[in-house]
Amino acid sequence: MKKKLSLVLSLVLALSVVLMGAGCGKSNNTPATSSDNSLKGQKITVILPQNEADTVGFRKAKTAQFEKETGIKVELIEKSWEGVSDDVTGDLASGGGTYDVIEFDNSWIGKFIKNQWVAPLDDYMTADMKSGMVPGLLDLFSSGGKHYGIVWNNDTRFYMYNSKMLSDAGLSAPPKTWDEVAALAKKTGKTAYMDTYKQEQMGTNELMFVVYSFGGNFVDDQGNPIVSTDPGVKAAYTWLAQAYKDGVFGKSTLTMDYEEVAQSFDNGDFPLMLQAWPGVYADSNDNTKSKIVGNVNVADYSVSKTGNEQVVLTLPEAMAITSTSKHKEAAWKYIEYMSSKSMDKERSEAIGSLPIWSDLYNDSDLLQKYPYWKQFGEQAQNSKGYPKIVWVDNFSDIVAKQSQKILTGSVSVDQGLQQMQKLMEDAKKASDQQ
């Protein structure tokens, strides 16, 4: 949530790279080792949030292995996400120079690229990486045709369901459209799903999924707010407002957090977990945590307006190289090593982390251990995250707070979206003037 390469194999691969020419046609199926003696002895500083799934010290062990194989020294700093955020943004805003490889959160993309805080990676990336990694993860950290980050934490959400509850309701398959979700609630007289539409960032996360699943977007390709004119946005909020009124989802959704939603699902309170993070599956099949062991399945599609607007939410974290790094080649060696396909598989086997390489979702070894990843892979191909805007913090706050007014009927859908539009336009204008 272990197979080790021999040192001999690593040396053979490194020699092959030298013979072919650095970066020319090089496969990324195995961890890269340095073939450039000029990099030996260089020191890079890497700062990343602690990985909660990494209870075995995988990252630290592989960093030490990287140092041994390449001769590059690594100062690895691991803190809470908030601690890393404060350190990274504070350092870069004051001119940078402290870090070589940094955490690159999905919500930072617009700001970091606009401020030129991170370096493009295209001159380093192999063709295998560009074609083999999950498209949504790679595209999310791209802008203007350039790639700026390689994901280390694939935090993608997936559609799970309680098969027994659906069977008891006379369904042989989980709902595929939002109207089918509403029909399920009407048929059973109970809530069909719970989620968090809380007035916090987590609420914005889940509301983005609903809007995306109706084919809507909050902003256009230039980052201009379009919530008052986009038909998909209006359709999404119209459905949500009616669903709140009809009890399709519980009213406590407005106050629940992620953990409370997951606990309620594991308690058997509702059948549909529309956007569950991967750890939910394991917890739902843990007898010490769950009352629904053996009844949880994963769909190979997501809920949408017509069944055709397939999308799942992704909130990944990537590694990036700072523009101020004086050791970019060595920094890239570390990123390449830690994100190679073989390392990705080894990490997945060791700690259960979701792969960032597409074909690992069909890997026989991983499927034997995590058979439901086949469905994960189907859904992951349609992942979508935060809009790439500089004013993302304001965006998140506006969506979370204004959405509750619409859902509860304090304002009409049209009024609420017009107010949201005005607030977003003001936030964008203020950002543009900075």
Task: Please compute the mean of the pLDDT values over residues 112-118 and round it to a whole number.
Answer: 95
Report the pLDDT value the prediction gives residue 5, as an integer from 0 to 100. 33
pTM (whole model) above 0.85? no
Of 10 and 226, the one with more pLDDT: 226
The amino acid that residue 180 corresponds to is: E
CB 382 within 8 A of CB 359: no
pLDDT in the model for residue 277: 86
Residue 288: band (very low, low, confident or very high) from pLDDT cuts 50, 70, 90: very high
Identify the pLDDT of residue 113.
94
pLDDT at res. 36: 65
Domains of the chain are 34-155+316-384 (3.40.190.10), 159-313+389-433 (3.40.190.10)
Q: Which range (244-248, 339-343, 374-378) has the least confidence?
A: 374-378
pLDDT at 122 over 80: yes
Q: Count other C-beta atoms under 10 Å from residue 316's C-beta.
A: 23
Residue 371 backbone dihedrals phi, psi, to 5 degrees: -60, -30
pLDDT at 2 over 50: no
- Asked whether the predicted pLDDT for residue 254 surpasses 50, the reply is yes
Find the range with the poorest average confidence among 168-177, 182-191, 309-318. 309-318
What's the average model confidence in pLDDT over 67-77?
97
Cα distances (angstroms) measured from residue 220 to each of 225, 230, 384: 7, 9, 14
Helix (H, G, I), strand (E, B) or coil at 142: strand
Select the more confidently predicted residue: 331 or 281: 331
pLDDT interval class at 37 (50, 70, 90): confident
31: confidence class by pLDDT, cuts 50, 70, 90: very low
What average pLDDT does this structure show over 302-327? Answer: 95
Assign 13 a pLDDT band (cuts: 50, 70, 90).
Answer: very low
- Using pLDDT thresholds of 50, 70 and 90, give the confidence band for residue 1: very low
pLDDT at 24 over 50: no
So what's the pLDDT on residue 376?
Answer: 86
Of all residues in the chain, what percent carry a pLDDT higher than 90? 79
- Helix residue spans in 250-391 (DSSP H): 258-266, 279-284, 328-339, 341-351, 364-369, 373-380
Return the closest-CA partner of residue 158 out of 1, 257, 272.
272
Model confidence at 399: pLDDT above 90 = yes
| DSSP 8-state symbol, 6 | P
- What are the respective helix, strand and coil percentages of the chain, to the nearest 5? 50, 15, 40
Distance of CA 162 to the CA centre of its chain: 24
The helix (H) or strand (E) run that includes residue 43 is strand 43-49
Q: Is the pLDDT of residue 208 over 90?
A: yes
Q: How confident is the model at residue 379 (pLDDT cuts 50, 70, 90)?
A: confident
**Closest by alpha carbon to 185, among 196, 194, 197, 198?**
194
